[in-house]
Amino acid sequence: QSALTQPASVSGSPGQSITISCIGTSSDVGGYNYISWYQQHPGKAPKLMIYDVSYRPSGVSNRFSGSKSGNTASLTISGLQAEDEADYYCSSYTISSTRVAFGGGTKLTVL
Amino acid sequence: QVQLQQSGPGLVKPSQTLSLTCAISGDSVSSSSAAWNWIRQSPSRGLEWLGRTYYRSKWYNDYAVSVKSRMTINPDTSKNQFSLQLDSATPEDTAVYYCARGCTYCSTTYHFDYWGQGTLVTVSS
């Protein structure tokens, strides 16, 4: 069982916006702003999309945004495109011995 | 552009040592701002951070408690690479293993901005 809780799946139509939640505790998401989001296409390595809660690495579309409230982090993708269809994982530093907590992943389907 | 190229066997027998190498281009394993990590992914355990090595005037290693007694990560400055050794492998260690760089421009090196291509390692007789 993953340390961070994500919905198993979300879907949206092209052009729409979707939000993926990531629920943790005060030991991880709620306690630190060290939250990142990864996109993973089938058979590929994860790709960093958001770091430090809401910052985008160079080259990542501004359609991707991140936020946090309490123990819940969120990834929002606006203007959905077909290529956004992938698995998305949240991650947070954690004070526990695992050091890094990952969510179980959310499969995004673009209808 | 940083690139990480993984190598190593895809099949390991139970009780043997799982060994993988990650060759770095575009950065240095001795970088004073990066950290070099191993992460694995399996259907049963999801994404799991295993450990890292990094240089800050001297070499440091961190390991996840779940593998600490069995894992060794070694930097090789002559080849600009780092390696993973996981002793006493069991079928539960079957996973896709990734090497990854800890982000140098983030507030923490526990964000991973460059990843290797992944290696599926199966532990089976």
Question: What are the pLDDT digits (tens) for A57-84?
Answer: 999 999 999 999 999 999 999 999 999 9
Cβ pair B118, B101 in contact under 8 A: no
Question: pLDDT, tens digit, for every residue of B30-62?
Answer: 999 999 999 999 999 999 999 999 999 999 999
B47 and A33 within 8 Å at the Cβ level: the answer is no
From start to end of A7-111, where are the E strands? 9-12, 18-23, 35-40, 47-50, 64-69, 72-77, 86-93, 100-102, 106-110
First to last CA, chain A: 29
Mutate to test the interface with A, among B111, B112, B114, B120 (most CBs of A within 10 A): B111
Check whether A1 has a pLDDT greater than 70.
no
A91 and B47 within 8 Å at the Cβ level: the answer is yes
A35-44, A93-102, B53-62: least confidently modelled range: A93-102
Predicted confidence at residue B49, as pLDDT, reads: 96
Integer Cα distance of B101 and B113 in angstroms = 6
Integer Cα distance of B113 and A46 in angstroms = 9
B123/B108: higher pLDDT: B123
Mutate to test the interface with A, among B108, B113, B120 (most CBs of A within 10 A): B108
Predicted confidence at residue B12, as pLDDT, reads: 98
